Structures are given as structure tokens and as C-alpha cells.
Structure 1
Amino acid sequence: MAKVQEELGKMFKTFGSDFDDERLEKFIEDSERIMRRPAELLLRQAGLDTSLSKSFSLLDHACGTGPIAAHLQANVHKQVLSQSRMLCADISDNLVNTLRRRAEKHGWISVETAVLDAQNSGLPELSFSHITVNFAMHVIPEPELVLQEAMRLLQPGGTLAFTVWHKNNLGWVPDMASSFAALPFEAPMPSPMPMAPNGKTEFIDPDLIPGQLRGHGFDDVEVKTVEHMVRVESADDYMRKFEMMKEWMIQAYWSEESKEKAKGMLHDYIVRHLTEKHRGQGWDLSWKAVLVTCRKPKN
């Protein structure tokens, strides 16, 4: 499990760092198709939606390419945004730089960026009315430390909101698994795919999450499971969207011999397999996410 988590961390730190503006925009667009809808639902559950009429101070940990900030910029009144503060932070300076480029290009309001560890940010206590962590509590090595840090940073009555993939999520996995199984050499991939690379399965099970939060002093816990479909237009489209996941599987599970055999043929082989599997048509991927909100007690 440690190697799986280590390889995923490497991907986040380097993937897309050499993209030009056009390819970066496409990468963000592909990411938004998967991340934006859960982000919208999470923010609505946290009270950060179009009805918001007063300013807020938000720390968006594990900000990635910025689905949380993007949704707020598009849906919260500009006057409220101008009086608010959004600190978008990630442990990957690569992703922070990506979000910064995006914010500057689109003229986002009241957005700051920082490279921070959600387990120990070093920020002043009682600094924020809201903290979000979008699809990272199942990846961060010690999510319990994130809860402790959130309790320290939130103002009394403040809200912590996070998403994780459900323990039974499928998404990109079935098509990658069938593609690997069709290869003419050993191409291992775990079955079932572990949805918690950090091994903390209590953070991807909606029945166990409330106990984690209450054990760290939070109340008003609300946990919802949602499903959404993401359209894949073609086999090439699938490969572009999930290139990072493919590389993650290869680096985490394949032998050096298999990696050598895959050189120069893997992309085309998988595209042919998926084109035949889906009869040359596009298809839908089913995703299952868990939306979690809770509050720091007022007293």
C-alpha cells in the first residue's frame, strides 16, 4: 500500500507540469467533468451556494486544479466574493501553480494560493469559516491529522466539508482493468481496486465516517452518497482523461519486464481494445462519491 500511495503522490507532483496553455485547458476541462459536479453538491451542502449573502473565509485544502474555487467564482455574487477570502492550497506546488495560472487567466476574485500540508498547515488558529478537502482524505497519509488541524483552524460554528470516493466506486477502473487483461504479457492491476490508497478505509465508508468526525469533536454531521455519470467520447478520449491513472497502475504494480514490453505499443493496443469493446462508440462511466459536512461546536 505504501508504494501505491507513493507513486500516486509522484504523479500529482509532476503530471501536467510541462503542459502548454492549450493542453492545460484541456486537462482542466477533463478534470472538471469528474470533479465539478461533486464540488457543486458539496458546496451546496456546506451552505456555500447561490443563496450566500454574507462574506466567508475559505481554506480549500488539496485544491487540485480548482473545482471548488471555480464553482464559487461562477455562482456566488461578485460583491460577496469581493468581501471574502479564498486560500487554495495543495501539497503539490505543480497543482498550486496550475490553479494560479487558471485564476489569473479568468480574473478570479479574492483568491490566494499556497503550498501547504493539510495535516499541518502552520496557519493561525481560528482563521476560517469554512474548510473544504475535495477528494483527498482517502489519499492524505494521516486524515486524522487533517481533522485535528481543521478543528484548530475553524472558527466556532465553522464548517468542514469534504468529498471522498465511495468504497464501491468504479469510474475509470473497469475499462483499465479489461485493457490490462487483454495485453499479451503480465499486466497486473488490483481487483477490487482500493479506493483508499492511504489504507484508511474508514474514510471511504459512509457508515464509518460519522464516527471519525464525532470522535474528533465535530457535530451536525451529514453524510450523503451521490452518483453521477461522466461521458467518454471515444477510446482516445478515455486515454487522455485517464493517462495519469494508467501511469499510476504501471508504476505501482508492474514489473520492469512488463514495462519494457509495453514500450511503443501500449497506447495503441489499449485504444484498439476499448474501441472494439465499445463498438467504436462513446460510453458513460459511473462514479460514486461521498459528500461530508460537519461543524465545529460554537462553544
Structure 2
Amino acid sequence: MATQTETQTATIPELASQTRFAGPLWLREEVGALYAKGEVHTGPFSMPLLRMANFDKLHLPPNRNLRMLDLCCGSGVTTHELQVLLQKQRLEDKVDLTCGDFSTGQLEYLDKRIQKMGWKNTYTQQMNAEKNGLPDQAFDHVVCAQGLMIIPDSQAALQECYRVIKPGGTFALSVWHTENWSLDVRDAVTHLPGLPAWPETSVELTNSWAQGPWENTHYVRSMLHRRGFVDVDVQTKSIQIPLKDAEDFYEVYDAFIEWVTDRYWTEEEKKACKPLLRETVVRHMENKYGRGKPFAIEKVCILATAKRPEASGNALDLGTPEMDDKGHDSGKEF
């Protein structure tokens, strides 16, 4: 049974200010339901990540429950897949799962999902991933699915993940690699009045929010190694995301499209173009794939797993990297 969302002392606006928040979308109350529509786009990568981390073969510690953290849990797509694995292993009563996110809207949505599904020992907690306030070495394993790259201070968040994992524990993460849906929307946007800007490439899109090139496998491997993790395994996985038709395409990517317009468009462009955006994108996709016809969009993600060394003293704690005035890694620790 779910608990009510636990709120830290800082308010949402205060957290937004503290973390140089990436955009207003996640502050909206309806973001949980909005983001949940996109689970068809994010969800297919959760189970491959969890299996890569061997969470389908969990080993229980003696005399206590296993403790896991689902960081940047969002509306709970990875939480759901974790529950599937726990049920298959008959571990629902032996694993305590904390689901942490910055967005109260998402956590409220997940709270209802937990209650509806009857998931045991599963709790939501509002937290700032850059400074989560959790005790040192509090969790046996941590998973952060498709969240690290959009945290403004991703280096601080990565350090926090290392800090809260017990020695020998596993960290599993996924990040964007290639976002092909954005290229279709880019082409559609050229039909809007005034030609409002849109990311030209997938790399531009992912770098619009990322602090560092998280779409690069070498970078992911290097950052995990730098933080002190060992047994680092980094892979890419391509999945064709099936869509019913052009209308379904817009429904799935609605939150992501909203995200880009918040980042790229002026207030005048939002006023002039947002009322036309859905119709324009749907028409473009119908012209490309056929009206009422199903099609698929390729999405590629990076999946990575790593462990905190058994003897924590073997790894150098590099602390949080120094940032420049734009929130980017100054590189002074390299």
C-alpha cells in the first residue's frame, strides 16, 4: 500500500531555483498523466535495463529486506517493470522500494498507481536528485531510467547515486541516445507561421537539457568510472516504437513536444503557433505514413550498469565537480 508523497522542507519553486530547473513542464499538476502517455516511448527500455542489472536474479541480504531506489521514477513505468520481476521472484514482501522524483505531479500519479496495483513496500518521496537528503549507503541497488541526462547538475546527481549505494551494490541507468521522433516534428514545424525554431538534430535535442554529452557511450562509461564505479557495462539498444497512426504519434510525444516548445519558442511564438501545432504535426505524419495507418519510430537508448566497490575505500571520492556560471562542468577535476 502506498504512502502519501513525502515532501522535503524546500518548496517546488525553491527547488527549481536551487537546481537551475530545466523547464516549467514538470511543475504542472497534470504532468503525471501527460508524461504517462509517453510510456510507450520510454517503457520498452526498462525491462532490458533491469535484466542487464540482474535485477531478475536478486539476492537478499541476511536478516533484513533488500532496499532499492527508483530515482527519477516519473509516472512509474520502471517501477511497474520492477514489480513484475519482484512478483516473478516472489519477493514482494522482501524488497523495500523507494520511488523518488522532483515532480509532485508525477508522484501523485504514481501514488494512485501503487494503490490501484496493490504494490507492497513501495513508497514515493519527493527529492532533488542533485542533493537527495538520503542517508549514506542507504540502498542495495539504485536505478535511474532516462532521467540523469535531464538533471541540470547531472554530475552532482551521479555522485549522490554513488553515495547512497551500499558497497557491492548495483547502479543501473538509461539515457537518450537517438531521438528520431524529433526529426519528424522538426520537418512539420517548418509549415508553421514565422518558422519557429526546433532542434535540427537528435544530438541538439538531447544536449538542450543534458549537462554533458550523455548520448555518447564513451562519455557515459567515463563518468561512471570517474565517480568510482567498477564493473562498468555500457550498451546501446534500438527499439521500434509502434504507433497506431499520426494522432497516436502526437499523443505519445505530447509531453516531449511541449518540453521543446518551452525551451525553444518565444512567448509570441507560443501564442501564435501552439494552437496550430497538433494539427500541423498530425498532417505531416499522415502525409508521410498515410492517414489512419500504423507505423513505427526508432528510438535508441544507452543502457549502463556499474557497481560500487565492495571495499568503498578502494574508490576515490571525487566529490561534486565545480560548475561554471552556466551550470556546466568546469572540467577542473580532470
* Same fold by TM-score greater than 0.5: yes
- Does residue 1:71 correspond to 2:70, yes or no? no
Corresponding position: 1:44 with 2:58 = no
Q: Matched residue of 1:126: which SS?
A: coil
Aligned-partner Cα distance in 2 for 1:7–1:218: 27
Change (3 A) 1:103 1:256: same
Percent identity over the alignment is 26
Distance 2:236 2:280 in 1: 35
1:80 paired to 2:91? yes
Assess if the C-alpha contact under 8 Å between 2:41 and 2:252 holds in 1: no
> Is the aligned partner of 1:186 residue 2:195?
yes
2:272 to 261, 267, 270: 261
Partner of 2:149: 138
Q: Contact (CA 8 Å) 2:21, 2:152: kept in 1 or not? A: no
1:31 to 35, 38, 51: 38
Deviation at 1:129, TM superposition (A): 0.6
1:176 CA displacement: 0.7
Between Structure 1 and Structure 2, how many residues are aligned? 285
Over 3 Å counting, the alpha-carbon distance change for 1:15 and 1:205 in structure 2 is farther
Q: Deviations over 1:4-55 (max 9, x none)?
A: x9785321221625x8xxxx4x963x33322222110111111111x33535
1:11 maps onto 2:17 in alignment: no
| Residue matched to 1:177 | 186
Q: Larger deviation: 145-154 or 59-68?
A: 145-154
Alignment root-mean-square deviation, CA:
2.2
Could you say what secondary structure the match of 2:38 adopts?
Answer: helix
Counterpart of 2:84, as a letter, is A
> What is the alpha-carbon distance in structure 1 between the residues aligned to residue 21 and residue 142 of structure 2?
27
Q: Is the 8 A contact 2:70 2:142 kept in 1?
A: yes
CA distance, structure 2, for counterparts of residue 59 and residue 15 of structure 1: 23
CA distance in 1, matches of 2:153, 2:268: 34
CA gap of 1:141–1:294, structure 2 versus 1, over 3 A, is same
User: Does residue 69 of structure 2 align to residue 59 of structure 1?
Assistant: yes
What displacement does 1:221 show?
0.4
> More deviation in 255-264 or 212-221?
255-264
Cα distance, 1:82 vs structure 2: 0.7
How far residue 214 of structure 1 moved from its aligned partner, in angstroms, is 1.4
| Counterpart position of 1:116 | 127
TM-score, normalised relative to structure 2: 0.79
TM-score of the two chains, using structure 1 as the length reference = 0.88
Cα offset, 1:263, TM superposition:
5.5
- The alignment status of 1:201 with 2:212, answered yes or no, reads yes
Letter in 2 for 1:14: R
Which shows bigger deviation, 8-17 or 36-45? 8-17
Which of 240, 243, 249 is the aligned partner of 1:238?
Answer: 249
The Cα of 1:245 is off from its aligned counterpart by: 2.1
2:28 partner letter? T
